[in-house]
A and B are shown apart, each in its own frame.
Chain A
Amino acid sequence: NAGVMQNPRHLVRRRGQEARLRCSPMKGHSHVYWYRQLPEEGLKFMVYLQKENIIDESGMPKERFSAEFPKEGPSILRIQQVVRGDSAAYFCASSPIRGRQTDTQYFGPGTRLTVL
């Protein structure tokens, strides 16, 4: 059973460009979470999604950031007009269907975004 997959693993963008980060959850998982990790910091919760629904986006900046998890395809974290402060590692996690060990989150390898 393949784990959580994220791509790209490394992404370099210039200030003002857009960054798109993709996450494919584990097979059978319908809950996706995005976290951001700054250097020498713990992970910070950004957003929690289920298929076609945003459940909680309280940790996501109000501007320039958006997330989706369409019916088909991976979850996408989109950052518009990137700034240097967006440079970080972005991790996606997934968990099984609600009611069956929903709390156990399995993390992907992350996307390391560098903004020049």
Chain B
Amino acid sequence: GENVEQHPSTLSVQEGDSAVIKCTYSDSASNYFPWYKQELGKGPQLIIDIRSNVGEKKDQRIAVTLNKTAKHFSLHITETQPEDSAVYFCAASIGDSGGSNYKLTFGKGTLLTVNP
């Protein structure tokens, strides 16, 4: 089955700096890669996702890049703010026979701390 590795496990940055979290996946058939943000005591919230037919996607201060050849994808957060502090999870999914990417395999998470 699919395996997703995520690094680093913890990341501390100063407010205003950029943060980068990297993930690698094992199965080249994976074609859907969402990123989730989980605040303490809450469920994961989708912040951005990318499909294998594009190499980069951006939404305001958040961007995701995908390198299918190397089987890795990264989350980039620019101009970080204290409210960005949370655990971030990457995930990968192989589409089923009907094209649905319902089965997400998650990385172990990155605890991001943004210091004021």
Listed stretches B13-21, B55-63, B65-73, B96-104; interface member: B96-104
Query: Which residues of B sit under 8 angstroms from A42, Cβ to Cβ?
Result: 4, 6, 89, 91, 106-109
Interface residues on B, range: 20 to 34
Interface residues on A, range: 20 to 34
Q: Please report A residues at the B interface, Cβ cutoff 8 Å.
A: 4, 6, 31, 33, 35, 40-45, 48, 55-56, 59, 91, 93, 95, 98, 102-110
In the bound complex, CA of A109 to CA of B45 (Å): 10
In the bound complex, CA of A68 to CA of B38 (Å): 26
**Set A31, A98, A103, A110: member contacting B43, Cβ < 8 A:** A110
Query: Which residues of A sit under 8 angstroms from B98, Cβ to Cβ?
Result: 98
**Set A6, A44, A102: member contacting B100, Cβ < 8 A:** A102
What's the nearest-Cβ distance from chain B to residue A61, in Å?
16
Q: Which of chain B's residues has its CB closest to A103's CB?
A: B101
In the bound complex, CA of A33 to CA of B102 (Å): 8
Give the 8 A-B residue pairs with the shortest CB-CB distance, closest first.
Answer: A42-B106, A107-B43, A103-B101, A43-B106, A42-B108, A109-B43, A107-B44, A108-B43
Query: Which residues of B sit under 8 angstroms from A45, Cβ to Cβ?
Result: 103-105
